[in-house]
Amino acid sequence: MNEAILIKQFELGTLKNFIHLICNKETKDLVVIDPAWDIDTIRDWVEENNYRIKAILLTHGHADHIEGYKKLLETHDVPVYISKVEADFYNIEGKNIVTVEADYQYDLGGIPIDFIPTPGHTPGGQCFLAGGHLIAGDTLFIDGCGRCDMVGGDPVKMFNSIHNRLMKLPDSTMIYPGHYYHEKRCDTLANQKKTNPYMLADKLEDFVARRMPSLA
Ligand SMILES: [Fe+2]
């Protein structure tokens, strides 16, 4: 683990969203991931801890994850990164919006943040990986994963995202989900491989049947 990284996690809103900050303790720069619900709480923490917001990163386009980014832009004129596929699908645009292709890498003052494409919950969803910390949005929950039955969802793509991308990361990777749906607020990939039913479903048809019971 990179000692310069601090992950700050807020649980905000009526849907138990997790909003995350990836902080560079050495440069005092940070990025805000999925700002929503209570922007003042995020701003206050940043100010009290003497950090600078460098960018906003969006895992996906659902309102409960992005509804606060415009309010945050009122005080912090920073770029807002989202995948091109997602921005096109949800018509997300504006002068601060930066659309990126798959596997973009952002530099947070010397700390690389890898953007991992993880379609399945939405067409252009992505996770953010920094120094062994994975901000997973709605792709992974603790002992769960995001729904694939909403518009733009695809359980086959979700299987690939989880089994062929995220589960190939080192077992020590710490997973931070997009919602507080479990008593654990984060967990290692090693633990999740033992208890997450969507990781245990290692055949595509088993995964789809579990995620989309109406199709089984
Ligand atoms: Fe979502």
The structure tokens listed for 171 are 């077992």
CA of 60 to the centre of ligand 1 (A): 7
| Residue range 166-195, pLDDT digits in tens | 999 999 999 999 999 999 999 999 999 999
CA of 21 to the centre of ligand 1 (A): 18
Tokens 């100010």 sit on residue: 47
CA of 64 to the centre of ligand 1 (A): 7
Q: Which fold has domain 5-215?
A: Metallo-beta-lactamase; Chain A (3.60.15)
CA of 50 to the centre of ligand 1 (A): 31
**Stretch 19-24: mean pLDDT:** 98
CA of 73 to the centre of ligand 1 (A): 22
Q: Residue 21 carries which side chain, given as an amino acid letter? A: L
Q: Residue 216's pLDDT is what?
A: 58
pTM: 0.97
CA of 26 to the centre of ligand 1 (A): 32
Residue ranges of domains in the chain: 5-215
Tokens 């930066």 sit on residue: 98
**Stretch 126-144: mean pLDDT:** 98
Q: Residue 131's pLDDT is what?
A: 97
Q: Residue 2's pLDDT is what?
A: 85
Residue 187, strand partner residues: 175
Query: Sheet of 174-176: strands edge to edge?
Result: 105-108, 111-117, 126-130, 133-135, 174-176, 187-188
Beta carbons of 120 and 154 less than 8 angstroms apart: yes
Bridge-based pairing state of the strands 5-12 and 111-117: unpaired
- Separation in Å, CA 141 to CA 7, 41, 103: 17, 23, 21
CA of 62 to the centre of ligand 1 (A): 5
3-class SS of residue 29 = strand
CA of 215 to the centre of ligand 1 (A): 21
CA of 150 to the centre of ligand 1 (A): 9
